[in-house]
Structure 1
Amino acid sequence: MEVQVTVGRQTRRSPIGELSEATGVPVRTIRFYCDTGLLAFERTGGGHRTFDAAVAVDRLLLIRRLRALGLGLAAITEVLGGERSIGEVVDAERAALDIEVEALAWRRAALLAVRDSDPDDRAARLELLAGVADRTVAQDTLVMFWHGALSALPPDLLDAFVTMNVPMLPGEPSPGQLVGFAELVAAVTDPAVRLLLKQQLWRRDPFRVRDRRGLLVGVAEACLEVGSRLAEGVPPRPGAELDRFVDAHARARGERDTPELRRQLHIGGSGARVDRYWSVTGELLGDPITSATALSWLDEALALSLPGAVDRIVPA
């Protein structure tokens, strides 16, 4: 596309070769900018392109400098047309570059994780890491599992749970962090593990729960209290935290707090794979106190509250 310009003032016209020499931009590139509408020109009677020397030099230098920053022609066109400022397009390019850098760091961690694995385990490691090839999809998978499992929670408590219990990897994860994160994603996509994780919250007979929202709110509040006890190093014991936990289950089921209900709520562990899930979660969060450790504390406190267990209660 040729851009014909009518000049209403006396200007010095420069041929394309002179413009190339003044700016260091190759002639073929200047022709391309002309054809794409980035650079205005006129033609002589002999068909040669000529340019307003002052305007064309400034414009070409700006185009060259923006291209050196990696900006595309679409962004440069917007700058030259006054649609966006240089600051705006530079910020947008930097944001896009940050995403690319994180994607490369994620890929590098995956490559190192495969390289450093035992040769006999590499096939399994490759399969595991394939599940987190897309960082965004992987993180969404983990978050959405818990959003689904805890959909009855009020938004503030749900956000607090996700913050406390769902790790988000740094921009440049280590191979070990990436492998751990891949384990978590694999766990929440496994129906058997998903069921066990939910069982930690609902305990047995989930179909008898009439008020799921009330139950989750009560359990979340009890776990927050237990988190403080864990931070203080207080061992499992019957008390206000356990009573709140049991009361939440009793109310949600339309029952009373009885020894039989406490016996039913005591699950005594959820299996090695669930334990592994929470162990890895604690490692990635850099905090051993998670909802799982709070629920384990409550489960041990439940056992101590059952008939015949009084002599095993640890004093506060």
Structure 2
Amino acid sequence: MSADHTWSIGELAERAGVTVKTVRFYSDRGLLPEAGRSAGGHRRYRPEALDRLRTIRSLRGLDLPVPEVGRFLDREDTLEEIIAGQLREVGSRLAELRWREAALHLLRDCAPDERAERLRLVGAVSVPPSTAPVARFWRGWLPARLPARLVSAIVDRSVPQPPADPTPAQVLAFARLHALVTRPCAGPGGRVPAAHRPRTGPRPAVLFGGLVEAHSLAAPELRAHRPPRPGEALDCFVAAYARSWDTADTPAFRRRLAGLLVGETRIDRYWRLAAELTDPAEPTPGATDTWLRAALNDQVAEPAA
């Protein structure tokens, strides 16, 4: 192609409204191919380079990284994928900013004598906050012999997700939850409850699988604000323990189980903090467990009454 049908780097820059340095930058990174060089070794560009340069500027104006711009120029059908990735990244940045804003309000609006403790709590949490420490807490607390699928189901139900747009109180609740699960020997008294231990329940997968089902059955009862009562949820709850111990579900077994559960250490503080981070209309596993235990206690107390 003759020089009459190409532009110099200055001519292209002038038509695009950018600097020569900008054109050279994109050329050096392979985004803006040259048509060749002049006899003096200067870059020459075809007229269609103007549209390509405008496209590059538009994509860069959306803050797309140079490699992503190159992907689009090589394959235009990747734009939807690139946009989806950028939306995720922007969403993450917004979540981080919202979390920082709520944390700053928390520190600004508290009493001076509370500020040091709150700063320590909030400062220990990554931004945006990660639920990995909370998940590790549960994976360490659950029996080692549980199937991975069941562990994942329990962790998914038990680990609250940080709100996308948190209030200062929710920032504090998550920070306190993080401190609870990361402190030395974190857990319900540092031990697995007796009713869940392998020596008394040789089939933990049966027990915890049944408990997941029982909690799912109890959740609608709590959503409907029904008081603890006998029914399918309670029967499933008791059956989970009975099957794991290879025993029958009898009135005597229910009385024994109620006595065991009453004496167990619970992580009520964990569930109170988790409830502050979740939809108030959606009961936590802690709330469903409380409901099921209360239903069992009421039932075994009826003959004495």
Runs of 5+ unmatched residues, structure 1: 1-6
Matched, 1:265 2:260: yes
Matched, 1:64 2:64: no
Aligned to 2:289: 295
Shift of 1:210: 1.1
Shift of 1:24: 0.7
Between the aligned residues of both structures, percent identity stands at: 34
Aligned to 2:210: 218
Shift of 1:191: 5.1
Answer yes or no: is the 8 Å Cα contact 2:214–2:234 preserved in 1: yes
Aligned to 2:170: 177
72-81 or 236-245, larger mean C-alpha shift: 236-245
Aligned to 2:73: 80
Q: Give the alignment's Cα RMSD to 1 decimal.
A: 3.5
Q: Residue 125 of structure 1 aligns to which amino acid in structure 2?
A: R
Three-state SS of the structure 1 residue aligned to 2:44 is: strand
Q: Residue 100 of structure 1 aligns to which amino acid in structure 2?
A: R
Answer yes or no: is the 8 Å Cα contact 2:141–2:192 preserved in 1: no
**1:19 pairs with one of 12, 15, 20:** 12
Three-state SS of the structure 2 residue aligned to 1:194 is: coil
**1:208 pairs with one of 180, 194, 200:** 200
Q: C-alpha distance in 1, partners of 2:86/2:226?
A: 51
Answer yes or no: is the 8 Å Cα contact 1:238–1:305 preserved in 2: yes
Corresponding pairs, count: 299
Shift of 1:212: 1.0
Give CA deviations for 1:17-64 in whole Å, capped at 9, x if unaligned.
Answer: 322221111122223333333331533333443332x12322222222
Aligned to 1:4: none
The 5 A counterparts of 1:69-148 are 69-82=62-75, 85-135=78-128, 138-148=130-140
Three-state SS of the structure 1 residue aligned to 2:281 is: coil
Answer yes or no: is the 8 Å Cα contact 1:23–1:61 preserved in 2: yes
The 5 A counterparts of 1:179-258 are 179-190=172-183, 193-196=186-189, 199=192, 203=195, 207-237=199-229, 241-255=233-247, 257=250, 258=252
Q: C-alpha distance in 2, partners of 1:251/1:59?
A: 69
Q: C-alpha distance in 2, partners of 1:243/1:79?
A: 58
Shift in CA distance, 13/255, structure 1 to aligned 2, threshold 3 Å: closer
Query: Could you tell me the TM-score, scaled by structure 2's length?
Result: 0.79
Q: C-alpha distance in 2, partners of 1:240/1:85?
A: 51
Runs of 5+ unmatched residues, structure 2: none
Q: C-alpha distance in 2, partners of 1:223/1:88?
A: 39
Shift in CA distance, 15/216, structure 1 to aligned 2, threshold 3 Å: closer
Shift of 1:88: 3.8
Query: Larger Rg: 1 or 2?
Result: 1
Answer yes or no: is the 8 Å Cα contact 1:212–1:252 preserved in 2: yes
Query: Could you tell me the TM-score, scaled by structure 1's length?
Result: 0.76
Q: Residue 14 of structure 1 aligns to which amino acid in structure 2?
A: W
Q: C-alpha distance in 1, partners of 2:303/2:79?
A: 73
Shift in CA distance, 218/69, structure 1 to aligned 2, threshold 3 Å: closer
Answer yes or no: is the 8 Å Cα contact 1:203–1:267 preserved in 2: no
Give CA deviations for 1:154-191 in whole Å, capped at 9, x if unaligned.
Answer: 67766664554432133222222222122222222245
Q: C-alpha distance in 2, partners of 1:240/1:77?
A: 59
Aligned to 1:278: 271
Give CA deviations for 1:48-106 in whole Å, capped at 9, x if unaligned.
Answer: 43332x12322222222222121222222333334764444333333322222222222
